Amino acid sequence: MPASLAAQRPLILGSTSRYRRELLARLRVPFTVSAPEVDETPQPDEAPRALALRLAHAKAQAVAAQHPQALVIGSDQVADLAGQPLGKPGTHERAVAQLRRMRGRTVLFQTAVAVVCAATGFAQTELATVEVRFRMLSDDEIERYLRAEQPYDCAGSAKSEGLGIALLDAIVSDDPTALVGLPLIHTCRLLRAAGLTLP
Protein backbone atom coordinates (compact mmCIF):
# COMPACT_ATOMS: atom_id res chain seq x y z
CA MET A 1 0.00 0.00 0.00
CA PRO A 2 1.48 3.42 -0.90
CA ALA A 3 2.56 5.46 2.10
CA SER A 4 0.53 8.40 0.83
CA LEU A 5 -2.67 6.35 1.08
CA ALA A 6 -1.83 4.99 4.52
CA ALA A 7 -0.97 8.48 5.72
CA GLN A 8 -4.51 9.55 4.90
CA ARG A 9 -6.04 6.78 6.96
CA PRO A 10 -7.35 7.87 10.34
CA LEU A 11 -5.20 6.75 13.24
CA ILE A 12 -7.11 5.59 16.31
CA LEU A 13 -5.76 4.69 19.73
CA GLY A 14 -7.97 1.90 21.07
CA SER A 15 -7.48 2.79 24.71
CA THR A 16 -8.89 4.97 27.46
CA SER A 17 -5.49 5.27 29.16
CA ARG A 18 -4.33 8.86 29.55
CA TYR A 19 -0.75 7.58 29.79
CA ARG A 20 -0.96 5.93 26.37
CA ARG A 21 -2.63 9.01 24.92
CA GLU A 22 0.19 11.25 26.19
CA LEU A 23 2.84 8.87 24.84
CA LEU A 24 1.28 8.56 21.38
CA ALA A 25 1.06 12.35 21.16
CA ARG A 26 4.87 12.45 21.16
CA LEU A 27 4.84 11.11 17.58
CA ARG A 28 3.06 14.27 16.37
CA VAL A 29 0.64 12.32 14.21
CA PRO A 30 -3.06 13.25 14.45
CA PHE A 31 -5.13 10.55 16.16
CA THR A 32 -8.42 10.03 17.92
CA VAL A 33 -9.25 7.79 20.86
CA SER A 34 -11.87 5.05 21.02
CA ALA A 35 -12.65 2.83 24.00
CA PRO A 36 -12.41 -0.87 23.14
CA GLU A 37 -15.15 -3.07 24.55
CA VAL A 38 -13.01 -6.05 25.56
CA ASP A 39 -13.33 -8.44 28.49
CA GLU A 40 -9.92 -8.34 30.18
CA THR A 41 -10.45 -11.40 32.37
CA PRO A 42 -7.45 -13.74 32.16
CA GLN A 43 -8.11 -17.19 30.78
CA PRO A 44 -7.39 -20.19 33.04
CA ASP A 45 -3.62 -20.63 33.49
CA GLU A 46 -2.91 -17.84 30.98
CA ALA A 47 0.64 -16.53 31.35
CA PRO A 48 1.04 -12.74 31.80
CA ARG A 49 2.94 -12.49 28.49
CA ALA A 50 0.18 -14.32 26.59
CA LEU A 51 -2.50 -12.25 28.34
CA ALA A 52 -0.87 -8.95 27.32
CA LEU A 53 -0.49 -10.07 23.69
CA ARG A 54 -4.06 -11.37 23.48
CA LEU A 55 -5.62 -8.26 24.99
CA ALA A 56 -3.60 -5.80 22.88
CA HIS A 57 -4.71 -7.61 19.73
CA ALA A 58 -8.32 -7.93 20.93
CA LYS A 59 -8.51 -4.20 21.72
CA ALA A 60 -7.18 -3.21 18.31
CA GLN A 61 -9.50 -5.67 16.55
CA ALA A 62 -12.55 -4.48 18.47
CA VAL A 63 -12.02 -0.85 17.45
CA ALA A 64 -10.97 -1.76 13.90
CA ALA A 65 -14.25 -3.62 13.41
CA GLN A 66 -16.07 -0.32 14.00
CA HIS A 67 -13.60 1.77 11.95
CA PRO A 68 -12.44 -0.50 9.11
CA GLN A 69 -10.58 2.21 7.17
CA ALA A 70 -8.51 3.30 10.16
CA LEU A 71 -5.17 2.16 11.52
CA VAL A 72 -5.93 1.13 15.08
CA ILE A 73 -3.44 0.77 17.93
CA GLY A 74 -4.27 -1.53 20.83
CA SER A 75 -2.06 -2.02 23.86
CA ASP A 76 -2.05 -3.84 27.16
CA GLN A 77 0.33 -4.18 30.07
CA VAL A 78 0.49 -6.96 32.63
CA ALA A 79 2.83 -6.96 35.59
CA ASP A 80 4.36 -10.42 35.95
CA LEU A 81 5.58 -11.53 39.39
CA ALA A 82 7.03 -15.04 39.14
CA GLY A 83 4.50 -15.94 36.45
CA GLN A 84 1.51 -14.47 38.29
CA PRO A 85 -0.28 -11.48 36.73
CA LEU A 86 -0.69 -8.34 38.83
CA GLY A 87 -3.44 -6.01 37.70
CA LYS A 88 -4.21 -2.40 38.52
CA PRO A 89 -4.77 -2.21 42.26
CA GLY A 90 -7.73 0.18 42.18
CA THR A 91 -7.57 0.80 45.95
CA HIS A 92 -4.99 1.85 48.49
CA GLU A 93 -5.21 -1.46 50.34
CA ARG A 94 -4.56 -3.55 47.23
CA ALA A 95 -1.68 -1.26 46.24
CA VAL A 96 -0.07 -1.79 49.67
CA ALA A 97 -0.43 -5.55 49.24
CA GLN A 98 1.11 -5.43 45.73
CA LEU A 99 4.13 -3.40 46.79
CA ARG A 100 4.71 -5.62 49.81
CA ARG A 101 4.75 -8.66 47.49
CA MET A 102 7.14 -6.96 45.05
CA ARG A 103 9.68 -5.48 47.49
CA GLY A 104 13.14 -6.89 47.00
CA ARG A 105 12.01 -8.78 43.90
CA THR A 106 12.16 -8.50 40.12
CA VAL A 107 8.91 -7.90 38.26
CA LEU A 108 8.53 -8.24 34.50
CA PHE A 109 6.19 -5.72 32.93
CA GLN A 110 4.83 -7.31 29.75
CA THR A 111 3.68 -4.49 27.46
CA ALA A 112 2.11 -5.54 24.18
CA VAL A 113 1.10 -3.34 21.25
CA ALA A 114 -0.95 -4.28 18.19
CA VAL A 115 -1.71 -2.38 14.99
CA VAL A 116 -4.71 -3.48 12.92
CA CYS A 117 -6.35 -2.18 9.74
CA ALA A 118 -9.46 -4.11 8.77
CA ALA A 119 -9.56 -2.65 5.25
CA THR A 120 -6.08 -3.89 4.32
CA GLY A 121 -5.94 -6.98 6.52
CA PHE A 122 -2.88 -5.67 8.34
CA ALA A 123 -2.59 -7.09 11.85
CA GLN A 124 0.66 -7.36 13.79
CA THR A 125 1.48 -7.51 17.48
CA GLU A 126 4.75 -7.05 19.36
CA LEU A 127 5.80 -7.41 22.98
CA ALA A 128 8.19 -5.26 25.00
CA THR A 129 9.31 -6.83 28.27
CA VAL A 130 10.70 -4.54 30.97
CA GLU A 131 12.59 -5.96 33.94
CA VAL A 132 12.03 -3.90 37.08
CA ARG A 133 13.95 -4.57 40.28
CA PHE A 134 12.27 -3.19 43.39
CA ARG A 135 14.22 -2.11 46.47
CA MET A 136 13.59 -3.80 49.79
CA LEU A 137 10.90 -1.31 50.77
CA SER A 138 9.79 -0.72 54.35
CA ASP A 139 6.09 -0.50 55.18
CA ASP A 140 6.59 3.21 55.92
CA GLU A 141 8.16 3.83 52.51
CA ILE A 142 5.27 2.05 50.80
CA GLU A 143 2.71 4.07 52.75
CA ARG A 144 4.43 7.41 52.11
CA TYR A 145 4.79 6.69 48.41
CA LEU A 146 1.17 5.62 47.91
CA ARG A 147 -0.18 8.63 49.82
CA ALA A 148 1.99 10.96 47.73
CA GLU A 149 1.34 9.56 44.24
CA GLN A 150 -1.82 7.39 44.51
CA PRO A 151 -0.93 5.17 41.51
CA TYR A 152 -4.06 3.07 41.83
CA ASP A 153 -4.67 2.98 38.06
CA CYS A 154 -1.20 1.55 37.30
CA ALA A 155 -0.29 -2.12 36.99
CA GLY A 156 2.19 -2.83 39.76
CA SER A 157 1.16 0.18 41.89
CA ALA A 158 4.08 2.43 40.91
CA LYS A 159 4.75 5.18 38.35
CA SER A 160 8.34 4.99 37.19
CA GLU A 161 7.91 8.30 35.36
CA GLY A 162 7.11 9.97 38.68
CA LEU A 163 8.03 9.47 42.32
CA GLY A 164 7.83 5.69 41.86
CA ILE A 165 11.35 5.73 40.44
CA ALA A 166 12.58 6.06 44.05
CA LEU A 167 11.19 2.58 44.81
CA LEU A 168 13.46 0.88 42.29
CA ASP A 169 16.96 -0.52 42.09
CA ALA A 170 17.01 -0.93 38.31
CA ILE A 171 15.03 -0.91 35.07
CA VAL A 172 16.20 -3.03 32.14
CA SER A 173 14.46 -2.38 28.81
CA ASP A 174 15.08 -1.91 25.09
CA ASP A 175 12.10 0.46 24.77
CA PRO A 176 12.06 3.20 27.44
CA THR A 177 8.37 4.08 27.11
CA ALA A 178 7.18 0.48 27.48
CA LEU A 179 7.02 0.70 31.26
CA VAL A 180 4.71 3.72 31.10
CA GLY A 181 2.26 1.73 28.97
CA LEU A 182 2.97 2.12 25.24
CA PRO A 183 6.28 0.94 23.74
CA LEU A 184 6.86 3.68 21.18
CA ILE A 185 9.82 2.02 19.43
CA HIS A 186 7.67 -1.05 18.78
CA THR A 187 4.65 1.13 17.93
CA CYS A 188 6.63 3.10 15.35
CA ARG A 189 7.91 -0.11 13.78
CA LEU A 190 4.36 -1.47 13.45
CA LEU A 191 2.97 1.81 12.08
CA ARG A 192 5.72 1.96 9.45
CA ALA A 193 5.01 -1.67 8.54
CA ALA A 194 1.36 -0.72 8.08
CA GLY A 195 2.48 2.01 5.65
CA LEU A 196 2.23 5.10 7.83
CA THR A 197 4.82 7.80 7.29
CA LEU A 198 6.12 9.12 10.59
CA PRO A 199 7.81 12.52 10.96
pLDDT value, residue 68: 97
- Domain annotation covers residue 173: yes
- Domain annotation covers residue 70: yes
**Could you read off the pLDDT of 133-176 as tens digits, one per residue?**
999 999 999 999 999 999 998 888 998 889 999 999 999 999 99
Contact between residue 159 and residue 95 where contact means Cβ atoms under 8 Å apart: no
CATH no. for residue 24? 3.90.950.10
Q: Is 121 helix (H, G, I), strand (E, B) or coil?
A: coil
Q: Which residues of 52-82 are buried (b: 16+ CB within 10 A; e: fewer)?
A: bbbbbbbbbbbbbeebeebbbbbbbbbbbbe
Q: Is 28 left (phi over 0), alpha (psi -120 to 50) or beta?
A: left
Q: Is 116 helix (H, G, I), strand (E, B) or coil?
A: strand
- Which residues does the annotation mark as catalytic? 76
- Mean pLDDT of the 166-187 span: 95
Element (H, E) at 117: strand 106-117
pLDDT above 80: residue 3: no
Domains held by the chain: number: 1
pLDDT value, residue 87: 82
- Domain annotation covers residue 36: yes
- Domain annotation covers residue 185: yes
DSSP secondary structure of 56-97: HHHHHHHHHHH-TTSEEEEEEEEEEETTEEE----SHHHHHH
Query: What percent of the chain shows pLDDT beyond 70?
Result: 96
Kindly report whether the global pTM for this prediction surpasses the value 0.75.
yes
pLDDT value, residue 52: 95
| Distance from C-alpha of 149 to C-alpha of 49, rounded to nearest angstrom | 27
- Domain annotation covers residue 199: no
pLDDT value, residue 163: 94
- Domain annotation covers residue 198: no
pLDDT above 60: residue 5: no
Apex 36 CA angle, 99 and 72, nearest 5? 105
